[in-house]
Amino acid sequence: KAGVTQTPRYLIKTRGQQVTLSCSPISGHRSVSWYQQTPGQGLQFLFEYFSETQRNKGNFPGRFSGRQFSNSRSEMNVSTLELGDSALYLCASSFGTGGTDTQYFGPGTRLTVL
Amino acid sequence: ILNVEQSPQSLHVQEGDSTNFTCSFPSSNFYALHWYRWETAKSPEALFVMTLNGDEKKKGRISATLNTKEGYSYLYIKGSQPEDSATYLCAFGGLKAAGNKLTFGGGTRVLVKP
């Protein structure tokens, strides 16, 4: 079974630009969660999508948004990039959304904002 | 704001020795505790999902216990090997309504010396 894939793996953008990251979950998984990892803050929850609906949202500004398609693939978008958005963005997929399902992480997208 | 603490932040272990470390989390509104192992340049790997007070889980030489009443979990590594070198993360899931939203601790970085 193929694992969670994320594209691109690396991105360099400049302040003010916008960026879209993609996550393809494990086949059959309907939940995709996104996390941001920075050295100072550790792993922080951004949002979760389940069956094309946003299930939960973390404490991030509205510049961070996401969506999920009918095939469960998910994208997250960051508009008006700031230097502080430089981070590793991880997505995780699971079969259900009950909180007790194992979440499987992708390799992440490393975003650098200059 | 949920506080999930892991201690120690890092530890060095001699090959063959056993070790353990702690994850502390809020005892109220507990729903699940997840443990992950994260090796450098790889995706976080799920180890355990624990839900019941007194739960004990085992995977090879790694095991974990859970005390939801006092809000802590221990992870044990028996007979540490160099391949156990990684950051070990715990993540708290509170309330079923929160879906797959996880609050991560800062991690315990384990370095096993040959």
pLDDT per position as a tens digit, B38-77: 999 999 999 999 999 999 999 999 999 999 999 999 999 9
pLDDT tens-digit profile, chain A (114 residues): 689 999 999 999 999 999 999 999 999 999 999 999 998 888 999 999 999 999 999 999 999 999 999 999 999 999 999 999 999 999 999 998 888 889 999 999 999 999
Looking at the partner chain, which of A58, A97, A103 has a beta carbon nearest the beta carbon of B46? A103
Q: How many angstroms separate the CA of residue A47 from the nearest CA in chain B? A: 8
Structure-token pair, residue A55: 């299930």
Residue B46 in contact with residue B36, Cβ under 8 Å?
Answer: yes
Nearest residue of A to residue B31, measured between CA atoms: A99
Beta-carbon pairs below 8 A across chains A and B: 74
Phi-psi region of B24 (alpha: psi -120 to 50; beta: other; left: phi over 0): beta
- Residue A33 and residue B101: Cβ atoms within 8 Å? yes
CA dist A40 → A36, B40, B87 (Å): 11, 17, 15
Nearest residue of B to residue A38, measured between CA atoms: B106
Phi, then psi, of A72 in degrees rounded to 5: 75, -5
**pLDDT at residue B30, as a whole number:** 87
CA B32 from centroid of its chain's CA atoms = 12
- Residue B100 and residue A48: Cβ atoms within 8 Å? yes
Residue A34 in contact with residue A59, Cβ under 8 Å?
Answer: no
Does B33 contact A at CB distance below 8 Å? no
Measured distance CA(B90)–CA(B84) in Å, rounded: 16
Measured distance CA(B47)–CA(B33) in Å, rounded: 11
Measured distance CA(A31)–CA(B104) in Å, rounded: 18
Among B93, B9, B83, B110, which Cα is nearest to A42's? B9
Amino acid at B61: R
CA dist B58 → A9, A30, B2, B55, B62 (Å): 33, 27, 27, 10, 6
Cis-peptide, bond into residue A8, ω within 30° of zero? yes
Q: What is the mean pLDDT of chain B?
A: 94
